[in-house]
Structure formats: C-alpha cells, structure tokens
Homo-oligomer: A and B are copies of this chain.
Amino acid sequence: MELDFNNPIPLHAQLKNILEDQILQGYYKDKIPSERELMDMYSVSRSTVREAVSILVREGILEKRHGKGTFVSLKPVQEWLKMISFTETTKNMGIKLLNHGPVITPENIADANGFEDESYHIKRLRLQDDIPIAIELHYYPIELGQKIAEYDLSTTVLYDALEGDLNINFCEAEQIITCGYPTMEDAEHLAVSDTMCLLITERMIFDSDGNMVEYYKGLFRSDMYSFAMKMSRKNN
C-alpha cells in the first residue's frame, strides 16, 4: 500500500487507514516501525506519521512507549473476542445477571434493524476467574426474549439456549470493534477508573429467515490483558 499524494484525503488519514488495516490483518502483531522508519517508507514527514499514529493511539489500537517504540495493543482484545465468541468455551467463565425485562427499544437499534417498539433486554456481567471483564447488553424480539427469560439466565449460556432449545439457526453475525469510555455505572461493575478505555463490540444475529433475533453490545475492559505488560514495563 502506498499513499496517494493527489488524493484529497489527508496523508495522515491515509496512513492511519493503512496502518489500521495492517494491524487488523495481523501484519503488525506486536511492534510497528518507528516514526522515522515510517517517514522513509511512505515518504512523509515525521509530523504526518505522528498524526496518523496518534489517532490510532487515541482509538486504543496502538500504544507508545517512550524510548522503546510503538506497539499494537489490540492483540489481547482480539484473543478475548475469540475467547468469548460464539463457541463460548466456558472454562473459568462466569456469568452474573444484572438486569432483564422488556424495554422500549433504543432508537438506534430500532432504526437500524426494524425491531418492534418493545424488545426484551438482558444485561449480564461476564466474569473470568471471578474477575469482571465485560458487560453485555442483549436485545431480543419481545416474544423470543420472554422465552429466553424462562431459563436460568444467570447460569445458562445464552447462545446455547438460542440454538438448542428455541430452535433458531444463526445465519449471520457482524462484528464491529470500536473504542469508547466507561461511565460511572460500568466503572462500578467492572471496577475500572473513569478514564479507562473500554472496547465496544456490536453484533447482530439473524435467523434463517433473515430476521434479527438478537442485537448485542459488549463492553470489554481493555486493560485486562495489557495489565501484565504494563506491570513489566514499570518494573524495568
């Protein structure tokens, strides 16, 4: 990939996109080239490189370490996402039910996917070795949600319930990774500070007829796996 100097898109934005793609595709797994190396690779000034990199840092994808380099901080999260994905290997994995019940469907969900005015909402805390690592928000069509509610939600794995007993086949799942920040309530549940970064995952699940049967959002602690790294960094 090269920069297009005639493209009206700013060079730092182009470079940011290139780096982001390369990171997401696993080309850079740990460390990205130094700022001066990127200057040469893409024939731009250091300011432009720094602008591109700082955007990715702000988004939580990269992490700078003074005197050492710039490092990918997404990897641990990708591993999580695998770990907590559909298959849900429940080893050391716990669930705590926080809330559930019918709610008025949030506008952004209803607009995007044609849910009814009401939907069934389930809010769960996800634990790993008894440590809270994520909050999950689930929205279901009201009838489906009510069926799901008959299960013991605090212990049952939702997808198993969906797939097995409720006779639903998953057709499609979209996954979007963005970056956000916790508010007080999430901070409480996850025991994170006000400014700590959370990763937000969105997922829509459809049945074989193409109807959305679940809208999912997960908020994940971005520090859980990078904590050890930060500790070792401090100890050096």
- Which listed residue, B106, B188, B219, touches A106 by the CB 8 Å rule? B188
Please choose the segment from A14-22, A30-38, A74-82, A192-200 that sits at the chain B interface, where 4 or more of its residues have CB less than 8 A away. A192-200
Most buried by B among A187, A191, A200: A187
- Which listed residue, B107, B183, B187, B195, touches A182 by the CB 8 Å rule? B183
Task: Give the number of times this chain occurs in the complex, counting copies.
Answer: 2
Residue numbers in B under 8 Å from A194 (CB-CB)? 178, 180, 200
- Range, interface on chain A: 20 to 34
The residue of chain B having its C-beta at the shortest distance from the C-beta of A200 within the complex is: B194
The residue of chain B having its C-beta at the shortest distance from the C-beta of A105 within the complex is: B188
Residue numbers in B under 8 Å from A106 (CB-CB)? 184, 187-188, 191
Query: Does chain B have a CB within 8 A of A181?
Result: yes
In chain A, positions 166-196 with a C-beta closer than 8 Å to chain B are: 178, 180-188, 191, 193-195
Query: Does chain B have a CB within 8 A of A203?
Result: no
- Which listed residue, B47, B137, B187, B193, touches A184 by the CB 8 Å rule? B137
A180 touches B200 (CB 8 A): no
Residue numbers in B under 8 Å from A184 (CB-CB)? 106, 137, 200, 217, 219
B137 touches A185 (CB 8 A): yes
Closest 9 CB pairs of A and B: A181-B181, A106-B188, A184-B217, A183-B186, A183-B183, A137-B184, A180-B181, A183-B219, A182-B183
